[in-house]
Amino acid sequence: MKHLNLTLDNIEDLFPESFTQEQKAKAKTLFYKELALRAHRFYNGKMQTIPKAPVMGFNWFNAWYTPGVSKISTTIRENNDTSYELSNRGNLVAVVSDSTRVLGDGDCTPPGGMGVMEGKAFLMKYLGGVDGIALCVDSKGPDGKNDPEKIIEFVKMCQHSFGAINLEDISQPNCYRVLDVLREECDIPVWHDDAQGTACVTLAGLINALKLVDKKIGDVKIVYYGAGASNATIARIVNTAGADPAKSIMFDSTGALHTGRKDIEDDKRFYRKWELCQITNPDKVETMEEAMKGADVLIALSKPGPDVVKKEWIQVMGDKPIVFVCANPVPEIYPYAAKEAGAYIVATGRGDFPNQVNNSVGFPGILKGALLVRARKITDNMAIAAAEAIARFSEKRGIHIENIIANMNESEVFPHEAADVAMQAIKDGVARKEMNWQEAYDQAKEDIDQARATTKALVDGGFIASPPQALLDEALKVAIDAVK
């Protein structure tokens, strides 16, 4: 009997030969969900806190705690910036969420977001050498509605313990106000990874995809399907990077965005969407069928598929169309189906399909770069610098239509990205600390290598157990049986 190997590289080899491509895709999704449930239960989550300093003898506790630590408190009191040197603050990120829009599952209640927020912290550490802690908060007010002011107040109160804040899975329109207020009123970077992170990596993928089809970003017609925090920010960042907003059309769940959308204009909470209404779709195209005619690029971040984006839409696109379908956990259309409809390059948010355009290749390096120079904020220029760093690194090692950008397994991308972000922070005047590119690169690489080596040492030493083979095999069996 064949078993899944621990790397999970042979999943498809164990599917029944009779499975179609669609059945295999469904089975993989179900497998990863079932595996996640069993593995999280086995390990009781996936993060822990361990010391970074030694205990050479009992008296060291007098230095790590009282009475010696009093000197740390008074030193920081005199100069708060020394907290970056005398505590772990300078490498510590809070992953803050009210869990009101967790992946494609909607409002999962505050503790329901813990799996995703711990996952974000896991990737920060392993990929970026950054310590993260999950903080899932209740944002409901007395009326039972989610109140963005509660998240704003919470982050303002706890910012002094962290070097940066990573906002995650906050539903719109609250996410807009939370990010915009905190970016201006906090003295540390506040980053909304669903929005800015996704925008950064999408731009990186778009830059290289356009190179492969020999088109300029300022010339292409772009259709955005979905107008949530992710796609609205993608449009803003892509426009800042050189796209012509007049050549783009965006759709939300009601229809096309344009200046005739009084429902958006009248609801001041959706001011980011109204900004896009004013600069996109000047001809007030109303339908996807019309919008997709001759389009060069489709960027979809709407709702899980697989039949949300129609083959007929792709069939009327222009020459060598680029299709990004990045809903999680299932893309709006499966890549094989998009290819059958004529897509030249297809990207999704998943690592088990070609061309993963996922913020996992962005935020570890971006946050690391911001932390290295003790930035006060992450500017749009820093996000674009990260996108260009990812695209440039990927092009240097080679790109093609099935591999447009680096993935999270390519560890070298992260220190390159971190160094470019750090330099942009200095250029933008938001850095507290000066360093050159090589210093930033070397520090980032050292921290990332150490994080990976630490994890390996814990596994090799038996302090982190390998998952039982039965756990893997049972998860695969459940997925296969569900699809048969």
- Which structure tokens are listed for 167? 């906002």
Sorted by sequence, the CB contacts under 8 Å of residue 8 that are 6+ apart come out as 472
Are 128 and 368 spatial neighbours (Cβ–Cβ below 8 Å)? yes
- Which structure tokens are listed for 389? 């760093």
- Which structure tokens are listed for 185? 């009123």
Of the candidates 165, 130, 216, 37, which has an alpha carbon nearest to the alpha carbon of residue 448? 130
Cis peptide before 329 (omega within 30 of 0): yes
- Token pair 């996000």: residue: 383
Identify whether 262 is a catalytic site residue: no
- CA-to-CA separations, 138 to 94, 144, 160, 168, 469, in angstroms, rounded: 15, 10, 20, 14, 38
Identify whether 65 is a catalytic site residue: yes
CA distance 148 to 453: 40
What are residue 96's DSSP bridge partners? 135, 167
Provide the CA 193 distance to its chain's centre, in angstroms. Answer: 5
Sorted by sequence, the CB contacts under 8 Å of residue 262 that are 6+ apart come out as none
- CA-to-CA separations, 317 to 3, 244, 248, 287, 375, in angstroms, rounded: 43, 18, 13, 14, 42
- Return phi, psi of residue 347, to 5°: -125, 150
Q: Which of 28, 120, 247, 377 is catalytic?
A: 120
Q: Which of 43, 65, 456, 477 is catalytic?
A: 65
Per-residue burial over 27-46, b = 16 or more CB atoms within 10 Å of its CB, e = otherwise: bbbbbbebbeebbeeeeeee
Residues catalogued as catalytic: 65, 120
